[in-house]
Structure 1
Amino acid sequence: MWKSLVLGLSLVVAGCASTPAPVVVEQGRLSPPAGQGIAIIALTAQSFNERSAELALHIDGPAGKISEQIALGTDLIRAPSDPNYLNTRRLSFSFRPLGVQVGNTQNVRGRVLVLPLPAGDYMVSNATGSWLREGIQSSNLETVNVAIQQPFHLAAGEVVYLGQVHVNMSLRSVVELSQNLERDFFDLETRRGVTDFSNIIMRPFNAATTVQ
Structure 2
Amino acid sequence: MLKRIFAPALCALLLAGCATMADRLRGSLEPPAERGYAIVSLTGKSANPDSATLGMDIANASGRVVAADSASLLTDTVFGEQGKSMAEGKLMLFTLEPGSYRVEQVWANWLEDGAWGVNRKMRSFRLAAPFEVKRGEAVYLGNVEVEMSFLPEARLRDESERDFAHVRRIWKIKDVSGVQLRPLGQAHP
TM-score normalized with structure 2 length: 0.78
Which amino acid in the other structure matches residue 141 of structure 1?
Answer: R
Counterparts of 2:50 and 2:153, CA distance in 1 = 20
The answer to whether the 8 A contact 1:24-1:31 is kept is: no
Counterparts of 1:107 and 1:201, CA distance in 2 = 23
Which amino acid in the other structure matches residue 144 of structure 1?
Answer: R
SS across alignment from 2:170:
helix
Which amino acid in the other structure matches residue 31 of structure 1?
Answer: E
Q: 1:137 to 1:191 in 2, by over 3 A?
A: same
**How far apart are residue 198 of structure 1 and its match?**
2.3
Count residues with an aligned counterpart. 164
Counterparts of 1:23 and 1:117, CA distance in 2 = 19
Counterparts of 2:36 and 2:98, CA distance in 1 = 6
Q: 1:25 to 1:65 in 2, by over 3 A?
A: closer
- Aligned residue in 1 for 2:150: 171
- Is 1:119 the counterpart of 2:98? The answer is yes
- Aligned residue in 1 for 2:179: 200
- Aligned residue in 1 for 2:25: 25
- Aligned residue in 2 for 1:185: 164
- Aligned residue in 1 for 2:135: 156
- Aligned residue in 2 for 1:15: none
Which amino acid in the other structure matches residue 79 of structure 1?
Answer: G
Counterparts of 2:116 and 2:133, CA distance in 1 = 50
Aligned residues with identical type, % of pairs: 30
SS across alignment from 2:50:
coil
Which amino acid in the other structure matches residue 121 of structure 2?
Answer: E
Radius of gyration: which is bigger?
Answer: 2
CA-atom RMSD in angstroms: 2.3
Which amino acid in the other structure matches residue 49 of structure 1?
Answer: N
Q: 1:120 to 1:23 in 2, by over 3 A?
A: farther
Structure 1: stretches of 5+ with no match in the other structure? 1-21, 83-104
Which amino acid in the other structure matches residue 201 of structure 1?
Answer: Q
